[in-house]
Amino acid sequence: MCAQERRPDEDGRDFADAMWSVPSYLLAGMAIYGGIGWLLDRWLDMSAFFPIGIVLGLVLAGYLAYRKFSR
């Protein structure tokens, strides 16, 4: 079978891409929203926004990963 006749889901790259992308989404979501929460904590002199940002980032990134990779 030549390379042009192979379907993308037969060579296993889709699974490997998803296995690298999902943790990347989760870590990036936690880092971005956690960072925003940390900045809000410093600006407002509180301590509630950082953990809220971490959890919110994890949930939103999980949702994005689910939407992208659920076919």
What integer pLDDT is reported at residue 10 of this predicted model?
A: 59
The pLDDT score that the predictor gives to residue 11 is 63
pLDDT, one tens digit per residue, over 6-55 is 555 556 677 777 788 889 999 999 999 999 999 999 999 999 999 999 99
Q: Which residues contact 61 (CB under 8 A, 6 or more apart)?
A: 25, 26, 28, 29, 30
| Amino acid 57: pLDDT | 96
pLDDT at 14: 72
Structure confidence at residue 45 (pLDDT): 94
Nearest to 24 by CA among 71, 64, 67, 70: 64
Number of helices (H), then strands (E), belonging to the chain: the values are 2, 0
